[in-house]
Amino acid sequence: MTEQFDEFEATLRLAAEKGNAEAQYELGVMNVRGRDHLEGMRWLLLAAKQNYVAAQYDLGRVYAHRVSMGSGAFEQGYVPDHAEALKWLRLAANNGQTEARKIITELETPTPDDELHEWLDELRTEANKDDQSAQRELGLHFCEVKPQDYICAYLWISLAAAQGDKRAIKAGETIKQRMTSAQIAAAQKLAHEWKPNASSRP
């Protein structure tokens, strides 16, 4: 049985090396799901570049981590790649692969985590511009996450309080009661050393 498989693989490889897109695709799938992920990706990519729709679709699915892969994938440093997944899935969809459209929709639909990270990035940008309300909200966020980060919370709350933000002043008093002396000292040091991000100013 093994001998027959080796013969089949050798025939497939010969056709793939001659540029046969179907053979490249089959060889790619075999390797991605088997022992050599990088070799599999190489063959899938060659077939996909020849506009072989199944290869475009499966390449997108691999990048999106939507296909079963051999353990060798992770040993060889595989990580999902959202942008590459969308690139190949869109090509497959444009070539009539209807299932690709479903995955694209899923990948492009924001998750609660995506929205949270986007909100935090915007908040951090404004806080670094010395916006007191953003500093206050960022500080409060660090109190609510699990586990709480009281040092970061107190840093941002104290910066807002220093600008006279009444809610921050009140919140700072509450947070301080939950902190150790070492945490308070660390937060105060960070606040003392903090400078607005001049490059972020309007």
Tell me the per-residue pLDDT of 61-80, one tens digit each, with 9 for 90 and over: 998 887 776 656 666 667 77
pLDDT of residue 97: 95
pLDDT of residue 77: 65
Split at pLDDT 50, 70, 90, the class of 102 is very high
At the second CATH level, the architecture of 2-108 is Alpha Horseshoe (1.25)
* 17 has pLDDT over 60: yes
Model confidence, pTM: 0.55
Per-domain boundaries in the chain? 2-108, 112-200
* 202 has pLDDT over 50: no
Instruction: Locate all alpha helices (DSSP H) within 33-180, ordered by sequence.
Output: 37-49, 53-63, 72-75, 82-94, 98-108, 112-127, 132-144, 150-162, 166-177
Measured CA to CA, the distance from residue 35 to residue 117 in angstroms comes to 36
* 108 has pLDDT over 90: no
